[in-house]
Amino acid sequence: MVRLSRTFFYSAIAPAFLILLALVIYPTYKVLTYSLMEYKLTKPNASSFVWFHQYAEAFADERFRWALGRSLYFALLSVLLTLVIGYAIAELLRRDDLKGMCFFRSVILVPMLITPLVVGAVFRYMYDYDYGVVNDIIRRIGLQKIPFLGDPFWALHAAVLADVWQWTPFAAIVLLAGLEAMPREPLEAAALDGAGFWQTLWSIKMPLLRPVIGVTVLLRFMDAFREFDKLYILTAGGPGTSSETLSIYVWRQAFQYFNTGYGAAMGVVMLFVINILSTFYVKLSKTLQ
């Protein structure tokens, strides 16, 4: 019976292990291997091990440092706006005195269900200088039209707004669950003591929502930091390199310039940056509790 049980156990986990091996373990191994090699797609037989030389080269690369900074800026700004707007929407959705709340709770999930490529394409048309709906509204209210995708300042921020639009529903739904699960006694006591909206928010709601906010920030930061699809469709890193984030620069090195080894090294650096910042955030959150 013991042998049969073990056979059944290994047979049951074998498909999951094979999928994990094919989709996670083997690709990770190849990326780590290529990151230690001077490997080019145009000369695959001329590759050689250079060990950590490409990592040092990456940090000495000014374009890499700027791309890393833009990725951090993009992720932090997107997470901040997503969290603030998501909380405001969550507060509205938990009001039962407004009609159609059940309908809006369902409809709000639609942006999350759209693929990032489609979101990028739709926003690219909306941002069009001559025919886009955004500039049409700006013109109708008497303001000067903005070259969203052609201006070095606006290009990255336009991509941030597209990312915020798609993922604010995620923050809203998670924060709504946290608000619904919040005990009523502290809120009722604060109301009896005459606490205002901001006092209740910062002294009661935020401390109680800290675990939910922590999970939301962590998941959204990891996703926004490696954002590629929407950025590439919207700006492709342009104009020039003004909106070139680390994910786009890695793609260009690996598949446009064919420096696969160098691109793999930068990809590993991206992975380590995400892990280090996420670990630091988790430890900081535990310290503040």
More confident residue, 69 or 93: 69
Residue 132 CA to residue 149 CA, distance in Å, equals 11
SS3 (DSSP) at 259: coil
pLDDT surpasses 50 at 279: yes
pLDDT for the residue 51: 85
Instruction: Report residue 3's pLDDT band, with 50, 70 and 90 as the boundaries.
Output: low
Average pLDDT on 261-282 reads: 89
Instruction: Report residue 1's pLDDT band, with 50, 70 and 90 as the boundaries.
Output: very low
Q: What percent of the chain has pLDDT over 90?
A: 40
- Classify 169 in phi/psi space as left (phi over 0), alpha (psi -120 to 50) or beta: alpha
Average pLDDT on 76-93 reads: 93
Q: Summarize pLDDT for 7-37 with one digit per residue, the tens.
A: 777 788 888 888 888 888 888 888 888 888 8
Q: Other C-beta atoms within 10 Å of 220: how many?
A: 24
pLDDT for the residue 169: 92
Tokens of 36: 């230690």
Instruction: Report residue 246's pLDDT band, with 50, 70 and 90 as the boundaries.
Output: very high
More confident residue, 105 or 223: 223
Tokens of 233: 């469709």
pLDDT for the residue 121: 93
Contacts of 28 (CB under 8 A, 6+ apart): none
Domains recognised in the chain with CATH numbers: 36-288 (1.10.3720.10)
Q: What percent of the chain has pLDDT over 70?
A: 96
